Structure 1
Amino acid sequence: MRCGWGLRWPDAVLWVVLAAAAVFEGLVGLVAALVLLTAAVVLFRRSPVWTVCAHVAAAAAPALVLAPTVTNLPWVWPFFAAGVFGFRAGRWAAEPVLLPLAAVLLAGLPVSVLADGSVRGGFGVLFGVYDWSVLVLIVLAVVLGPWLLGRYLRLRAELSAAGLDQAALRERTRIARDMHDSLGHEWGLVALRAAALEVAPDLPERHRLAAGELRAGVAAATERLQEIIGVLGPRDERTDVGALVERAAAAGMDVSWTPAGPSPEPVERAVHRIVREGLTNAAKHAPGAPVSVRVERSYDTTTVTVANGQMAARPGPGGGTGLAGLADHVRSLGGTLTAEPRDDGFALVAELPHDARPAPAGPPARRRLAGVARTPLLAGTAVAVLTMALYATVGAGNSLDPEVFEKIVPGAPQADVEAVLPPFQILGDPERMLSDPPKGADCRYHWASEQTDERLFFRLCFVADRLVLKETVPRGAISAGEER
């Protein structure tokens, strides 16, 4: 059931649930969420992967720019929405999400470096890399995890259905072989005896004519049997529609076609068969008329249209076993087929769902999923190692000795003070725990090498290359800052 704009009711329910998650993000966050979610729900079926990427970008931008650190996420709803749409993309979309997602995440690296650098100076470059690497790990867990789960469910459904397909194909092949071996042999003998009677010299003329009619009837029945065996036997495995169209054009047909992206293999085979039937009918009933072949693909269906100009003679009702067999095949895939005259000719239109008869059996779902997940897992491992190495390196050189801190005098030149400071600062956002620094100040934050309840870390702020503020921050500032 649809509810306007081509949406289905589950889409509307999803919009309400995700919008409710943004209610607590403030007015700006709520407005942004409503705009993005509306566009995402409307466009998801046409472009599921880029819908996911749009939510990842919406999560990354405020996390890297507004905070500017992912340790204090300003908005949470984009991550939640990206995870939901990531699952849906993995469950229903055939195209891969890894490369577009990697492009979005890599674009965030220079943004993170610039944002943190504007706040923390030279250390901001290092902190921006750390900020970005933490964001990547969050995205891998929140978005890629649901996507892999959806992909696994899709692969498992495909393999399950493929097993049923293979069993049905084996049964059809067995029936076809039995019909060919038994009926074909018997009818061949009948035709042979009828032919002998037809030329027997001692048989009356009327009996010879009856024998000829019998032989012709057996030949027609044998031909019909071959057609039935062809329907029951293995299906045509060809899927190259482009080659099919090129052969028709080479034979003199005025044909044009609009291709689409890849679909599941059973759908590709059905598309090939539909286009072949449409081109055959056009050549038979409308020779010389222009023919257009159009394949359109959404995230869950493929639509095939073969339309030709005015036909010389339209087939009457019930004519042609090709269309009837084709309609049965499309219905067996859960799709629909219409073949009807139009004002300017005739059109064959089929709509094929992607999840009715998925791809044939292959490796088990877990093994195929492992192949899909290998690249993101390796990339995630590399980023995790980078993050931990960066954290350990910075952590080994961001503590300030309290005795050194006490010797620092307000008003001292910035260069003199920085000469006694550790090479790195705190990887985090301690400024949110404190009061605003002096206007235009450039502040440094260092852990106390010996921490107590009254001395957790230090803040030193510079204005015009002079130290204007030195502050010891107690442990209680953490809880106070979280309440702010």
Structure 2
Amino acid sequence: MWPRRRIVGETLLALVLALLTALTLPNASVPRAVAVAVAVVVAVLLRRAFPGSVLVLTAVPAGALGAFWLLLMVVSWSAGSRIEAPRRALTLFAASYVLYAGLSVQQAAFPLSAPQTLLFATLGFLAAVVVPGLASRYRAQRHRLLRALHEQNAQLLREREIIASHARLRERQRIAQDMHDSLGHQLALIAVHTGALEVDRGLTDGQREVVGVLREASVAAMHELREAVGILRDGTPDRAREREDAPETVTRGAAGIDALVAAARGTRAVVQLQHTGEAMPLAPAADHAAYRIVQEALTNALKHAPGAPVTVALRYEPDSLVVEVANGPVPATAEDAGRTVVSGGQGLTGLQERARLVGGLVHAGATADGGFRVAGVLPYPRRESTTFVDTADDFRGQSGGRVPGDGGDLIDWSGPPDRQKEFDIAMGKRKKGLWIGCGGALLAFVVLGGLAVVFVVKLVGDEADKLMLDPSVYDSVRVGDTEAAVRDRLPHGRSFLAQALDSDHGAPPAPRGATCSSYLSSGDWPDGGGKAPAFRFCFRDGRLIEKRTFMSTS
């Protein structure tokens, strides 16, 4: 289906061409003009579906009547871009030329000889048919070439992305193996030794409680490490814990924050948990981000502010979950006050990145009483989509490689993606091809126009030589001379301009039964109000019976 703009354009084009063709039709009656207008409208509408047939059929009235020039140009433009096979295009354009030139030579619209008419018809056909057809063909071929290059470039981008993905996967597998071999061994040793300490009879109940917390933390860290290793290897967490005899699987979402607070209290820290509002479901990524915000904030509070009270608040707002972890100032009597704690400095940066990927934000800073506060805002999932990542450039796989809201189809890379901008710059903008095509067509028109001007000047000069007669020749001829002797002195050849001179209203009437020839004087022309001196010779029965001069008004 055509868009509305194209329908309007085609309609206007058909009406304008029909009107201009009907107005330029020579000696046309009203029924004939209407029939021609209808034929032009039909040709315009069918030129896209049947370009070759319409081109050949349009060449017939264009050559016979000479009033279908504009239609022939439009039809040749459509045929040039839609006839893909070169041989077929050459055959159809050649057949159109033969029909057009043959009918142009046969018509008697201009008193030219057959070679002259053929030359004019050839120049006109080149300008009105060949040049638009070649320009349209170049434009269509360039568009097809650019489309093929775009598809090839998109394929190369896909292959490059696949290679990069495989390289990332190999690197992730290497990192996962290193983590499993190094951290797994160390955490296993910590779990074994803390388990042994927990049953040591020499420990007090308070020490045994702390050791139990350490053992549970090391076991939980081992399971988190397994899941991280599984995700690094193949994108799925390790489910080995589910096959073990553990009482339950650790929840790493908003529901697991209670367990985090309980574990922190096991270290004899004062941690208060507050819930406000009705619990709302979160997207998986946002739910995990809430867990990580609380985990990182509690870890920082226990490291950097030992002995300070900590408050964990979960506020379920109408549009988002607000997670806030705040600790007070470090007590002066704390045992670990003033010690230096080693920190990587990447925890808060990682939290901010997690929140950004789900459309939220994280703020961290000191409070007025000397404490520290970490707050995160995590929005609830939107109804139309649960992803906050632009899938058009999602090369990190945040959205699973699928366009949201399209029924689960894979991302369509068939068109030119944004990453092909450097390709477009290298190939040039679309206007570049337009300027090249217009420049080539203009150059062809200039060349053909120059040839036509040269030909017209040469033709007029030759015809003028056949029409001009020196006054001395007129004076030397006597009435009664033989026609052969007189014509030997006259210019050879018959000029088509002489017809206008013979039918001039200023010429005297010709003798009955005589054949007359008129010529213009090549001498000085007197100022006769736009009139020119002319000579006329009349012959009958092989002799000159009359010669006269008159003032031509042609």
TM-score category (smaller protein)? 0.3 to 0.5
TM-score for both structures, normalised by structure 1: 0.45
Structure number with bigger Rg: 2
TM-score for both structures, normalised by structure 2: 0.40
- Pick 1 or 2: higher relative contact order, CA cutoff 8 A, min separation 6: 1
